[in-house]
Copies of this chain bind each other. A is one copy, B any other.
């Protein structure tokens, strides 16, 4: 049984805790949070504290707090030489305090409060300095997922950057579309089959093979019609920049294919 303690309890903490609670190989011993929170019913039996001095002994401490608070918080821990990991995509391993053994346990997924998470398919990217800690994090990851991968801090930051494009930026495209439809009293549900198909397509085709649309085929007439509808503002700028990027990629000047 791997004993773990959560330090901080936002969306990532909650979803991880909930998933570990269902595992037979991991025991969630405690949740620490600096302010009192009411634990959701699924994890309500886990002991809770707001005092750093009351943190119990465990095999792995999982810091699940905002990225910019991780370094300073790790310095405030009163114990030493334990395995302390964070769950961030963009914070290097070395940000953690030297007082403890450092590690990373990064689930490559976006966690929202009201969304159920199925961990078995989610890649978990781990990192640690000592071989025995890698083994421990590998076992911890396998309690949740079939896809546990050892990657470096540099690789993880690049993965996180790529994830921002396919998750945060894609979602903003959904947001712009949703606003366009709403303004015209058209239901967003009309677009849902296309959204699903667009995501499904890159399971079998590369994104370059799957690319279609006015920008790809340099259809300036349709692009002009769209720009006319968009008016001014950030949606227009976003449309123009992505269109330009697609045009340059697939229709480079002088007929030179990149």
Contacts and interface: CB of A to CB of B under 8 A. Distances in A.
A88 to B, nearest CB: 9
Contacts of A204: 114-115
Contacts of A34: none
A149 interface: yes
Contact of A171 (B121, B178, B211, B226): B211
Contacts of A195: 166-167, 170, 199, 202
How many copies of the polypeptide does the oligomer hold? 2
A167 B194 contact: yes
A254 B115 CA distance: 31
A47 interface: no
Interface string A182-220: 011010101111111111111111111111111111010
Interface residues of A, number: 93
A10 to B, nearest CB: 11
Interface of A: 66-68, 90, 108-112, 114-115, 121-123, 147, 149, 151, 155, 157-178, 180-181, 183-184, 186, 188, 190-217, 219, 221-222, 225-226, 229-230, 234-235, 237-239, 241-242, 244-246, 248-249
Given A111-B212, A174-B210, 13 more contacts: A109-B193, A110-B213, A123-B190, A158-B183, A165-B173, A165-B239, A166-B173, A166-B194, A169-B173, A170-B195, A171-B201, A175-B211, A235-B245
